């Protein structure tokens, strides 16, 4: 494929893990719609494009161990080698492998036990391929808050990778705000492991892109661990946004919650595939999954595939999905109150979104996206 042919000269084959990742990637190739996890994703334009990698250094962080991967290999080689080996052995996503093979942009971060840290990153995107990689280890009892924002213009390919290990009793909160352009391609990969008495809360807001996909996998490996995953998306024009979410319960008394909402305008398209695995030993698990879609245009499309796979006996679990259009009676009522049809739809969308995001922010993005076409 043209994308891989363009990138091959940029692989550093002297690096063992980059070489291994590239070897696996060449063997399996880039996905097509015949691959079940990608069957709703339009990839032909991306795979036939040429993007040259652009690398920018990450700023050093205060109050923690903050290293480039080259530096981390010298000081924490055993830890990183173990992490890379486990990830490559299990990784099925070609875009995650591409990040490992190509990336020179990223950081190894270690949050010391008991520390409380706040981090913020902002990515300004306009051209080429960006492949930032973050490997974060959060020590026992530590607290980490992360704010990530991406803002893009023009045509580019953004392919980030986050590996997060949360040690016993630690807590992590991540807020991701994405404003990709209508011409952009974005493949987000997140891999997390949550240990005993630890928690992760992860919220993603996205406006959509020409093709945007989120692949999040979380392993609840310790008793009484917890994950809360939420997302709000507002695709418009011909934008696409796809969520592929996997949570594995591997210990007793673990809890997970997934709630993803999408309000689609114009010819926007979305898909949600959520998987919950509850292993036999994960008794007294609680696992919930919900996907809601609001179709604000007759040409908008939303696909949803929630899934539960339970091997334990003592479990509380549920999953569900909805796809609705604004009701004529509701629109008529709002129009009798002096609103135009577009304003009435915005008002309904505002109510739909406000469960996950404040109304003022929702208003700004609904109006911004609504100006691109028709709701």
pLDDT digits (tens, 9 = 90+) for 296-339: 999 999 999 999 999 999 999 999 999 999 988 988 888 998 88
* pLDDT bracket for residue 155 (50, 70, 90): very high
Least confident of 23-27, 246-250, 251-255, 327-331: 327-331
Residues 6+ apart with CB under 8 A from 278: 249, 285, 287, 308, 309, 310, 311, 312, 315, 317
pLDDT top residue among 12 and 83? 83
Residue 187 reports pLDDT greater than 50 = yes
| Burial category of 65 from C-beta neighbours within 10 Å (exposed 0-12, middle 13-18, buried 19 and up) | middle
* Average pLDDT in the chain: 92
Name residue, tokens 């509850």.
Answer: 278
The answer as to whether 244 is a domain residue is: no
Q: What span, in angstroms and rounded, lies between the C-alpha atoms of 15 and 239? A: 37
Q: Does pTM top 0.85 for this prediction? A: yes
Strands (E), 30-128: 65-67, 105-111, 116-125
How many separate domains does the chain show? Answer: 1
- pLDDT, average across residues 136-163: 97
The answer as to whether 168 is a domain residue is: yes
The answer as to whether 28 is a domain residue is: yes
Q: What span, in angstroms and rounded, lies between the C-alpha atoms of 364 and 354? A: 12
The answer as to whether 277 is a domain residue is: no
The answer as to whether 229 is a domain residue is: yes
Structural domain of 183:
2-233
The answer as to whether 314 is a domain residue is: no
Residue 359 reports pLDDT greater than 80 = no
The answer as to whether 134 is a domain residue is: yes
The answer as to whether 241 is a domain residue is: no
């Amino acid at each position: 494929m043209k994308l891989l042919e363009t990138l091959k000269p940029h692989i550093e084959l002297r690096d063992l893990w980059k070489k291994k990742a590239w070897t696996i990637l060449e063997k399996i190739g880039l996905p097509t719609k015949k691959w079940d996890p990608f069957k709703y994703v339009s990839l032909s334009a991306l795979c036939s494009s040429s993007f040259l990698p652009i690398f920018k250094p990450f700023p050093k962080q205060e109050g923690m161990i903050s290293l480039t991967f080259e530096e981390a290999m010298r000081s924490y080689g055993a830890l990183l080698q173990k992490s890379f080996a486990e990830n490559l052995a299990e990784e099925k996503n070609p875009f995650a492998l591409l990040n490992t093979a190509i990336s020179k942009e990223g950081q190894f971060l270690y949050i010391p036990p008991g520390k409380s840290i706040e981090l913020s990153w902002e990515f300004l995107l306009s051209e080429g391929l960006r492949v930032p990689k973050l490997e974060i280890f959060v020590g026992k009892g530590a607290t980490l808050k992360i704010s990530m924002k991406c803002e893009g213009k023009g045509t580019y390919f953004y392919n980030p990778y986050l590996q997060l290990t949360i040690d016993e009793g630690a807590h992590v909160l991540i807020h991701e705000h994405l404003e990709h352009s209508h011409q952009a391609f974005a493949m987000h990969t997140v891999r997390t492991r949550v240990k005993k008495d630890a928690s992760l809360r992860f919220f993603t807001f996205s406006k959509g892109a020409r093709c945007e996909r989120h692949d999040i996998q979380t392993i609840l490996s310790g008793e009484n661990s917890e994950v809360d995953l939420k997302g709000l998306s507002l695709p418009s024009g011909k934008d696409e946004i796809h969520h592929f979410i996997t949570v594995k319960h591997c210990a007793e008394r673990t809890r997970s919650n997934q709630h993803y909402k999408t309000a689609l305008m114009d010819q926007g398209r979305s898909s949600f595939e959520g998987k919950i695995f509850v292993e036999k030993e994960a008794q007294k698990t609680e696992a919930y999954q919900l996907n809601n879609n609001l179709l604000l245009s007759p040409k908008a499309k939303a696909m949803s595939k929630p899934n539960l796979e339970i091997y334990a006996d003592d479990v509380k679990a549920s999953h569900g999905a909805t796809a609705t259009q604004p009701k004529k009676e509701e629109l008529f009522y709002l129009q009798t109150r002096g609103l135009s049809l577009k304003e009435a739809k915005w008002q309904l969308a505002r109510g739909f979104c406000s469960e996950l995001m404040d109304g003022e922010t929702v208003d700004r993005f609904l109006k911004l996206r609504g100006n691109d076409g028709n709701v």
